Amino acid sequence: MKNSITYLYLFVITLNFSCAQDTENKANTAKDIPFSEELFIDGLQIPWGMAFLPDGSMLITEKSGTLIHFKDGKKTLVDNVPEVYVRGQGGLMDIFLHPDYENNGWLYMTYASKEGSEKGGHTALMRAKLKNNALYDNELLYKAGPNTTKGQHFGSRIAFDDEGYLYFSIGERGARDVNPQDITKDGGKIYRLNDNGSIPGDNPFVDAENAKTAIYSYGHRNPQGLIKHPVTGAIWEHEHGPRGGDEINIIKKGANYGWPVITYGINYSGTPITDKTEMEGMEQPNHYWVPSIAPSGMAFVTSDKYKNWKGSLLVGSLVFQYLERLTLEGTKVIHREKLLENKGRVRDVRQGPDGLIYVAVEGKGIYRLNPKQ
């Protein structure tokens, strides 16, 4: 029976891969691609996140623990960055400016931290201000626990909604049968805080016994995409599945997204995780990938700079090393297109205040997509 299930999963993977290839073969030809790429910032190793400052300069996190300020064509290291636990997938991760940054100066970062009594590390969220290329007024807002020496599934992305609440993600830290379905434990969750780190009074589990009251949704595996929809204001998330089953989800208050009870993926060995892809009380993904693309970074296109792109969703692929553009009809994905193929592992993608798309590629740097006239 187990072998039959395994063969069925492998058949589904092959079928979905063929369908995905058919869709992608209908993508635009090179002459129709509405941009030319420019290596805008070079010499970066694993640029995990980026944020645009009001003066047009950029802040870039390197997974190794350095924060870079790129201004007037020069890279300067920012001082007083917190100590980062660099192991496996953990390091200095996302960076995001407060929606009212110009008035309050707060920036937010997620990183793997050793803080705590146990060995290893876990994901933390902090905020700070920037002056003369140094952080100050550093505040630790959330530190997940307990620490573990496992090197996988730290998450982590940051987003704000239209009401000013801050969301951030933490992966299940390789403890799939322990963390994601248990609201008394950190990991495998999307969290919601006030911008000062306090817990909103209407969070879904504030009255649940022993719950981590910052939790907003649960049953996640390793979310490395988190963004506010520019029209609806909903928070969209994507996460790594195992072998197959990467997901895009629209985050709902208190919802359970199923991992590992339901999944469209299988173990890396080819054996099944579960025979269930749906269950009452658990959310279905808005979209899923089979085979896995290993998604990281996510951006909605709201500018008119690129022909026929407005309203599209951009997602980086680590494993297949390209940028994927998904055409949406409402919330449904109706078309997939590969861009920047074979450039390297795409770690992040952002739309800048200039309306242009910036793509962080490991071992290369940050590409800017310059629209064709």
Active site residues: 153
- Residue written as tokens 């395994």? 6
Q: Nearest-CA neighbor of 142 among 227, 203, 60?
A: 203
Residue 24, amino acid = E
CA atoms within 13 A on the CB side of 226: 29
The burial of 236, by beta-carbon neighbours within 10 Å (0-12 exposed, 13-18 middle, 19 or more buried), is given as: buried
* Distance in Å from the first CA to the final CA of the chain: 58
CA atoms within 13 A on the CB side of 252: 10
DSSP structure class, residue 303: S
- Residue written as tokens 């590629």? 361
- Please state, in angstroms and rounded to a whole number, the distance separating the CA atoms of residues 251 and 226: 10
What token pair was written down for 203? Answer: 């969070």
For residue 313, what are the β-bridge partners?
300, 326
- Residue written as tokens 């990467």? 246
Q: Do 125 and 142 form a contact (C-beta atoms < 8 A)?
A: yes
Q: Do 189 and 212 form a contact (C-beta atoms < 8 A)?
A: yes
